[in-house]
Structure 1
């Protein structure tokens, strides 16, 4: 049975050519996205910035409502979008109304970890099964499911191992994910691009008796499906994770769950996984995602909590 690791982990993201955390402090952070630098709110940056001059192209100024709102202010010209890359995956960045820039750079160590698991660092090769896979596209290799897949950087990172089902309720996000696949020259990878409610899709896959080798789950605190379905994390997460468990078996490699901006412990997420995965081999782990600042005296900036099941 899957054991629960009590000691929390920290998965640390380091900067790369097209992204870096330059500095943080006083409730804000300064990041570089290719040739542009931006300031965004960061409540967990309780310390004092290391740098005195935060020369940035723009800043997101939050609204008075802690649950959202705000606007971008630009001091220098910034295009509507521009290209970036992580490993072999190319994608476009843009200043969205939701304060982020079209992808989540703190997920980079998660993408690396999942690729290692699919490359065989985890359990042995998955047993072939007619129920395994992601649909009519078929494809050789190990199959993965990306729920709340957003603009597809994680999907494209996983697609080298085999077929991927990419699910997001936003037509705009899925369209952007397709564009990122074309930009990367990966449009022929066996990916199903699905505009769908994540919970309903997972429930249908359970009824179809599908099995996946890995699942990445990145739910929002609150959201709406394509047909007006309402998602509230604390209310709906347990049932969704239970369905995801039914899509995995003893031959599967992992489930990775990330949660942002909630008053919750990673140990709570791990407790949910430990209960649901008790009949499978492997280990349930939990902890925080963090990004390391660049330069001398670099600190770790926490960004999210996570729980994961890995096999073995």
Structure 2
């Protein structure tokens, strides 16, 4: 299996300005932030980083961390956009800012896979604040958005309103992704595409425990049962684990063995603006017809 890198290029409302020595400097609209980045092992282009805030990680024992702000920012968040989707960015306690910019090439790729379908049925598992959901809904997708966090689903609804997409056919579902997918299999549902972005560890709304290494094979297997020979894609991203893209690629290949098409795998990366170097962020595997 040949590995491919999907690269998030800078756009008007986001850019990786600089990175190095275990940190990265990014712009989110008019605001700039510094966050930890263990994979940035090289030296930065400049030592002079002017930022509005920085996330300072906790110790290995304590975990977590905190934001420290040098300049005022809107604590309730501020609007950003990607293509025809609008959403709110804000500094979360989990060090990110309410969306994942490295997913932008995935959103574009998914749109291409179903561009000839007027109303493709697509499910977004672990959908978070819904930017991927809205990227597809904006192009006519009939979406099922699933996340265990009520707060995240509510943020997705607000982003839909901000994007002028509140009237689009999106089912906003607060549920355990694995349990919901298994029920969809029993219901005999089918989808044209599935996007899943599972965490390493998480809990469902009723205390269900999710561990990636244990739960992913069964979840991918259930996803394959919701696809058929006319379906277009299944895209999986995996973050923050000691796992190879080849491993999840072979898992995807086994699960999709009964479907026509191809399986590919690789890494996600963001291109730095100052030097053009690539900062790796995640691994991925996908099936497409």
Give the TM interval when normalised to the shorter protein.
over 0.9
- Cα distance in 2 for partners of 1:95, 1:180 equals 16
1:21 and 2:19 matched: no
Name which of 68, 86, 89 aligns with 2:85: 89
Equivalent residue, structure 1, for 2:2 = 7
Name which of 39, 45, 54 aligns with 1:50: 45
Q: TM-score, normalised by structure 1?
A: 0.90
- Cα distance in 1 for partners of 2:279, 2:63 equals 21
- SS of 2:10's partner is coil
Equivalent residue, structure 1, for 2:94 = 98
Q: Say if 1:119 and 1:161, in contact at 8 Å, map to a contact too.
A: no
Q: Which has the higher contact order (CA 8 A, sep 6+)?
A: 1
Name which of 221, 246, 251 aligns with 1:242: 221
Equivalent residue, structure 2, for 1:137 = none
- SS of 1:290's partner is strand
Q: Say if 1:27 and 1:46, in contact at 8 Å, map to a contact too.
A: yes
1:169 and 2:164 matched: no
1:273 and 2:252 matched: yes
Over 3 Å counting, the alpha-carbon distance change for 1:20 and 1:201 in structure 2 is: same
Equivalent residue, structure 2, for 1:134 = none
| Correspondence 1:175-214 to 2 at 5 A | 175-214=154-193
Q: Say if 1:143 and 1:161, in contact at 8 Å, map to a contact too.
A: no
- SS of 1:119's partner is coil
Equivalent residue, structure 1, for 2:233 = 254
- Cα distance in 2 for partners of 1:164, 1:254 equals 14
Equivalent residue, structure 2, for 1:76 = 71
1:129-152: CA deviations, max 9, x gaps? xxxxxxxxxxx6110000000000
Please state how far the C-alpha of 1:51 moved relative to its aligned partner: 1.4
Name which of 267, 270, 280 aligns with 1:302: 280
Equivalent residue, structure 2, for 1:38 = 33
Equivalent residue, structure 1, for 2:272 = 293
Instruction: Quote the RMSD (CA, aligned, Å).
Output: 1.0
Over 3 Å counting, the alpha-carbon distance change for 1:148 and 1:67 in structure 2 is: farther
Please state how far the C-alpha of 1:52 moved relative to its aligned partner: 2.4
- SS of 1:161's partner is coil
- Cα distance in 1 for partners of 2:62, 2:110 equals 31
- Cα distance in 2 for partners of 1:260, 1:199 equals 18
Please state how far the C-alpha of 1:174 moved relative to its aligned partner: 0.2
Please state how far the C-alpha of 1:276 moved relative to its aligned partner: 1.1
- SS of 2:39's partner is coil
- Cα distance in 1 for partners of 2:147, 2:61 equals 25
Q: TM-score, normalised by structure 2?
A: 0.98
Equivalent residue, structure 1, for 2:110 = 114
Equivalent residue, structure 2, for 1:129 = none
